[in-house]
Copies of this chain bind each other. A is one copy, B any other.
Amino acid sequence: MDTKTRMIETATKLFQQRGYKAVGLNELLQACGITKGALYHHFPGGKEELLIACLHSLNETLTRDIELVFNCASSTEDAARAVIGEMIKDLDRNGTIAGYTFSSIVSEMSLLSEPARDACRALYEKIQSIYRAKLLEDGFSSDRATSVSLFLTASIEGGLLLCRAQNSSIPLQTISNVIPELMKEF
């Protein structure tokens, strides 16, 4: 794998786990096994340009990963539970979550540049659009699909937050269990 790709992949994980500010440049370089020269060669804009590249990369890999799960699922309900299942596996194994979310970055959005904020926005829109498409497949009306996809995204992200706070995967498990009953209603 070439250096640039390796940089993006490593940095993406770090940013996802701990946010933007909390990841120092030197730590980043060490984790990637590169030097400042390499970083500023590939990303003249420095740390923030790397972040944006990571967000764009996330847009692709996340979309791919989620769509893969969604294609195997028979319903939105199954799909959501499957995604949560993956998160829980991550959490129980590594103690952190490096896939399917980037909430740590979002909470620092106020101090990011506009391009970075745009990339974040695009990412959430993409995720919700995948949910929405599946909901439409399931026979939901357009309006319904919009609000339910938002609701699903929110509760999963919120559940992840609670997991981080409690250092346990139980909140996401609870949410995974509640979702089926919730979907029945809609």
Contacts and interface: CB of A to CB of B under 8 A. Distances in A.
Contacts of A157: 157-158, 161-162
B154 A175 contact: yes
Contacts of A150: 159, 162, 171, 174-175
Contacts of A186: 181
A110 B165 contact: no
| Total copies of the chain | 2
Interface size class of A (residues with CB under 8 A): 35 or more
Contacts of A161: 103, 106-107, 154, 157-158, 161
Q: Is the interface of A mostly helix, strand, loop or mixed?
A: helix
A56 B106 CA distance: 25
A153 B158 contact: yes
Interface stretch (A13-21, A36-44, A68-76, A133-141): A13-21
B147 A178 contact: yes
B164 A151 contact: no
Interface string A144-186: 0011101101111111011011110001001101100110111
A162 B128 CA distance: 11
